[in-house]
Amino acid sequence: MSTVLEAPPIPVAESREPLRREDAPEGQPSRSSPPERLISLDAFRGFIMVTLAARGFGLSTFEGDPALGWLARQFEHVPWEGIAFWDLIQPAFMFMVGLAMPFSVANRLRKGANSGQVWMHVLKRTFMLLLLSQVFISIGRGALSFQLINVLSQIAFAYFLCYWIMKLPFRGQAIAAGALLAAHWALFALFPGSEGTFSKVDNVGAVIDKFFGLEYSGSYVTINFMSSAVTMLFGVWAGYLMREPNSHQRRMQLLGAAIVGCFVLGYALQPFNPMVKRIWTASFTFASGAWVLLILLGFYWLVEVKGMKKLTFPLVVVGMNSIFIYGLHMIMHGWFDRAVGVFTGSYTFLGDWRVVAQTCTVFLVMWYLCWWLYKRKIFIRV
């Protein structure tokens, strides 16, 4: 899988102000009292962005080390079946976009937008995500390119789907999520490849892509958006939970129950539906969703319950300007690496740790630029 596929999503949250009762989305309870600003959500987004932009802090270089190999392998994708920390990055991106959607839609309605205007905004954002994905891919490769497995393209399709699903009552949303996973599974089962239902080389997703003249390395397929949209829906539901005037204890209990449920479903399905990120199977959807929810719960407990906001401030700085650091990571990382290397000598004197030191130094430069924008209240959004 290319580095591009692991790029972070463009954040869609614009406000954490509440809906008026007349503005509540269909199927969702309304409320009149404003919620507190949840810094934990910014810290959560920042954590994922930092991990990506820092390229796993260069730790993957120790993959063959007998002592650190286990840690290094967490910053590499598993070859096919299974799950490592690095396989959670894109699900976290999808989840973050969904998490922000209830706030974004509510804010637009609160400001007087009608449903048609919100729909046009969704359509515009979908188009911009698709356009940016091709721009970043082309710049990164140094030539015009077109592909739909880039994370921004996948987010665009899933975002469009989720907007319409959000208009259903919650039960309808849950049914839609189940239908998406069932349809995705059915496609693979009805049209198996040479290696079986979830064939690595010629599964139904690859066949569809090839039909449209799209061939990708790494066994990724465009129809991943069907099941990754469910990951985004998990984020939407978490967003609804955070908008409700619940106590910290109640929110944590519900998140905990969701985590247990997703873990049980993910691993119960695994014998019949292998856990493969590259084609985003149903078991992977649930298992990765459980891990992402667990990370969110950790930040919620740390920031909102324990009040350790200062500790997560460096993450918040990045989380508030996700698209900016994404652009730096995708387009400018090589340039920053060369420029920093002029002064650091790429830390060759550190031996095996030189890559870690250089990677972290490059990231600190990018973090400083995010901080410079943060101090001036400049937040780049699409």
- Report, as ranges of residue numbers, the positions in the chain whose pLDDT lies below 50: 1-34
- Residue 217: burial class (beta carbons within 10 Å; 0-12, 13-18, 19+): exposed
What is the reported pLDDT for 24?
A: 43
Alpha helices in the chain (DSSP H): 39-53, 69-72, 89-110, 115-141, 151-166, 170-190, 204-211, 224-243, 248-269, 282-300, 313-319, 322-327, 333-344, 354-375
Strand partners, 196: 193
List of long-range contacts for 69-78, beta carbons under 8 Å, 24+ apart: 77/1, 77/277, 77/278, 78/277
What is the reported pLDDT for 36?
A: 60
φ, ψ of residue 276 to 5 degrees: the values are -125, 115
What is the reported pLDDT for 147?
A: 86
Q: What ranges do the domains of the chain cover?
A: 3-50+79-308
What is the reported pLDDT for 27?
A: 42
Contact 352, 64 (CB under 8 A): no
- Model-level pTM? 0.86
What is the reported pLDDT for 13?
A: 35
State the Cα–Cα distance between residues 247 and 266, nearest whole angstrom: 28
Strand partners, 81: 276
What is the reported pLDDT for 136?
A: 83
